[in-house]
Structures are given as C-alpha cells and as structure tokens.
C-alpha cells in the first residue's frame, strides 16, 4: 500500500495572509467595543455556533421559551440570505433581528455592532446570537459575546468534532444534539463526548435533544442562566 501524499499549506503560502491579519485585527477591536457596550448595559451575550441543521435555532427557541419570563431577551440571527430563523424565534414573542451576510459564511464583530444599534439595550438582559451555519471560520471571529456555544448533531457523523478542533476549542459549552437519533445513525454519543473533552477540557459538554427538551436545563445551568 502506498503512502498518501500530503500537501501542508504553510502560512506564508496563503495569498491574502496580510489582508486577513488586518481583517482579524479590526474584528478584534470592534469585538472589544461590543463587549464593553454590552457590559455597560449589563447584558449577557451568547454566540451560538454550529453547522446548518445542527439545532442552533431550536436551542435558542427552547431557551427563549424557558427564560422569557425571567430575562428580557433579544436574538440576532445570522444567515446568508434567509429570514427563516428570525421568524421562527419571533414566534416566541422574543424580539429578533436578522443579519443577512450575503457572501460571508460567518458573522463578524462589525455586523454585531450594527445590530446592537437596532436594539433597545436599556431594556434587555440577554442576547442570543445565532451565527451562520458553519464550523470553520466563526471560530476566528470574536463577536464580543461573553460565552460561546457550539452545537453539533449526531447526524453530522462520528468525526465531526475532531475534524473541526478550532471551533470546539473556543467553546464554553458544547451541546451534542439529536441524541434520540444516535442509534438510527449508528453513532456512538459517548465517543463524541470524549472527543469534545479531548479538544477542549475546559468546556461543559451536554448531551441533548432540542426536539424533546432533554439536556436543555443542563445547558442553561452551564451558562448560569438557570439555578
Ligand atoms: Mg438556524
Ligand atoms: Zn466565513
């Protein structure tokens, strides 16, 4: 059996590396401004990341439903073109803003800065940001949120965590979603939990089904939103 040739791309070979560093530096600065502003208004902000179909909107809907009598909540929903998620969330009488990113496959701090200007910050306690469905570049763009959640569904297969280490390494909470489908998918949930803990020993890992509500309380406790 012959060895598979591997081409390792080094930093200096990436064509727009200088541009990218500049973009990331600007992003960092605006993210800090966002966080300062949120702190000034005593608002907790949570960045929810994950692939398309992993359950980001369902998690936010369930959380909003559960917490809306306790906190004044708003949702900033990121998506390339649609307003489906913001509409879903607003059915729970939670104020929501859609950010359509166009060509961009992630939200950045500048988009969040614009969205914050549309919100009545005096009258909010909690903001959920639903990031664009993507497990790669949202990891690089701090939005100014206080906590980062990554949701992953068992339907994404058994290698999904080890193939996206960066985003999981940045998470405070990792939710393994759709565990009710694990048997049908032939996926070992415990193996996913193990991978998550290996990639990020600091994160809380919760097994959940946002369809049935299993794991929701545990997730909200990890975010210190429930006692
Ligand atoms: Mg969604
Ligand atoms: Zn992107």
The ranges of the chain with pLDDT < 50 are none
Task: Say whether pTM exceeds 0.85.
Answer: yes
Query: What are the helix (H) ranges across the chain?
Result: 17-40, 56-67, 84-90, 109-117, 165-169, 182-185, 189-199, 216-222
CA of 51 to the centre of ligand 1 (A): 9
Q: pLDDT at position 124, please?
A: 97
Q: pLDDT at position 42, please?
A: 98
Q: pLDDT at position 219, please?
A: 98
CA of 104 to the centre of ligand 2 (A): 5
Q: pLDDT at position 86, please?
A: 87
Q: List the domains of the chain with CATH numbers.
A: 16-222 (3.40.50.300)
User: Rounded to whole angstroms, how far apart are CA atoms 11 and 112?
Assistant: 28
From the CA of 140, which ligand is nearest?
2
Q: pLDDT at position 81, please?
A: 87
CA of 136 to the centre of ligand 1 (A): 16
Q: pLDDT at position 14, please?
A: 62
3-state secondary structure of 137: helix
Q: pLDDT at position 92, please?
A: 83
User: Rounded to whole angstroms, how far apart are CA atoms 139 and 39?
Assistant: 22
Q: pLDDT at position 82, please?
A: 86
User: Rounded to whole angstroms, how far apart are CA atoms 51 and 34?
Assistant: 24
Please write the tens of the pLDDT for every residue from 71-126. Answer: 999 999 998 888 888 888 888 888 999 999 988 899 999 999 999 999 999 999 99
Q: pLDDT at position 90, please?
A: 86
User: Rounded to whole angstroms, how far apart are CA atoms 29 and 121?
Assistant: 21
Q: pLDDT at position 120, please?
A: 95
Q: pLDDT at position 139, please?
A: 93
Classify residue 152 as exposed, middle or buried by CB count within 10 Å of its CB (0-12, 13-18, 19+): buried
CA of 64 to the centre of ligand 2 (A): 27
């Amino acid at each position: 059996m012959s060895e598979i040739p591997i081409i390792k791309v080094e930093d200096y070979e990436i064509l727009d590396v200088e541009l990218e560093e500049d973009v990331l530096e600007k992003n960092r600065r605006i993210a800090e401004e966002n966080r300062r502003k949120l702190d000034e208004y005593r608002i907790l902000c949570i960045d929810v990341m994950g692939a398309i179909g992993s359950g980001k909107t369902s998690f936010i809907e369930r959380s909003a439903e559960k917490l809306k009598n306790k906190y004044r909540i708003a949702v900033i929903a990121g998506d390339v073109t649609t307003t489906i998620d913001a509409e879903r969330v607003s059915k729970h009488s939670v104020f929501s803003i859609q950010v359509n990113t166009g060509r961009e496959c992630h939200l950045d701090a500048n988009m969040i800065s614009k969205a914050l200007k549309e919100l009545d910050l005096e009258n909010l306690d909690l903001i959920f940001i639903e990031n664009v469905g993507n497990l790669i570049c949202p990891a690089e763009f701090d939005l100014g949120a206080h906590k980062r959640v990554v949701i992953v569904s068992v339907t994404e297969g058994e290698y999904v965590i080890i193939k996206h280490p960066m985003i999981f390494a940045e998470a405070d909470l990792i939710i393994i979603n759709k565990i009710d489908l694990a048997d049908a998918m032939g996926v070992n949930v415990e193996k996913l939990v193990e991978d998550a803990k290996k990639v990020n020993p600091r994160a809380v890992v919760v097994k959940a089904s946002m369809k049935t509500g299993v794991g929701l309380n545990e997730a909200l406790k990890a975010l210190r939103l429930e006692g």
